[in-house]
Amino acid sequence: MREKTALLLFPTAGRMDHTIPAIRYIQKLAKERGAKKLVVEFLPLNKIASQNLPKFIQSIEEIHTKELRDEKSLSEYSNFLLFKSRNGFISSADWGRILEEVIEDIKSTSIFLGCTVALGSDVPEDIALNTSLTSLSHSDLTMIKVPTGYDIQTPPELFNPEARLSDQIKRHELLGSLSIREPLIFVAKNPVVREVLMIIRKLYDREKSTDGFKSQVILKEINSHRSEVGSKVAMSSTNLANNLKYLRGYKLIKSEKAKHNVTSTGMILSGILSD
């Protein structure tokens, strides 16, 4: 019988202080979603991490068992967590491919409730980037960052040093999240909308203006580019205004004082869609 199963992945390198808080956090969410099992898999990114993992996992299992005893729930949840690790180590450049394989493997044998990648302080940036890219094909993929201490620079209204680290976990928005997936699909399917977005991004990269660009400037740049590539069809100001409205609706641009500029989401999408 296929069980409802959630997956928690740890790209493993350097300090792993975030392991226990991340397990507590995801375990709680998985139980709330009706999961019968949480697979916790460690994927070592270097040789030393691979060699130390068996001893580390044994230590984590002992801590987990002690917590269950303290909570008097050992009999109920003793088989809820399944710890796994990979033999040898993987290159961070292969992370996207390995992530796909692990997710598909769990999906093939269970009722899949989603995968979470937990990041600590010593994980290469390309792990986060490749996780985000993989989320485009897996909407049930999330990524969290676990603080390894208390940041005194946290805004006062959010600073709570008494809270457990598992209560201070930050969820990262990935490319596969609805707020990015929907505008990405819309822009990819509408070449004229894409054209306008890419021209505004081109102007931003060239001028480095945070104030934005007037419609006349954007229209002139679009028609100049069309002429360069041999197009005889010029864009009208009305057509531009309609496409700017679409981009504002998906929060890919912001418009202030009759000037338009890319938002942070617009920067991400224009980077993905660039030739």
pLDDT, one tens digit per residue, over 168-226 is: 666 666 665 656 778 877 888 899 999 999 999 999 988 877 789 999 999 999 999 99
Coil, strand or helix at 21? helix
Architecture of domain 4-176: 3-Layer(aba) Sandwich (3.40)
Average the pLDDT over 109-120 and give the result. 91
Work out whether the CA dihedral 246, 250, 255, 260 comes out positive or negative.
Answer: negative
Q: CA-to-CA distance for 126 and 93, rounded, in angstroms?
A: 7
Length of the chain, in residues: 275
**Structure-block tokens of residue 120:** 């600590």
Report pTM: 0.64
23 Cβ partners below 8 Å, 6+ apart?
A: 8, 40, 60, 64, 81
Q: Where are the domains of the chain?
A: 4-176, 182-273
Class of the CATH-defined domain 182-273: mainly alpha
pLDDT, one tens digit per residue, over 19-59 is: 998 999 899 999 999 999 999 999 999 999 999 999 999 99
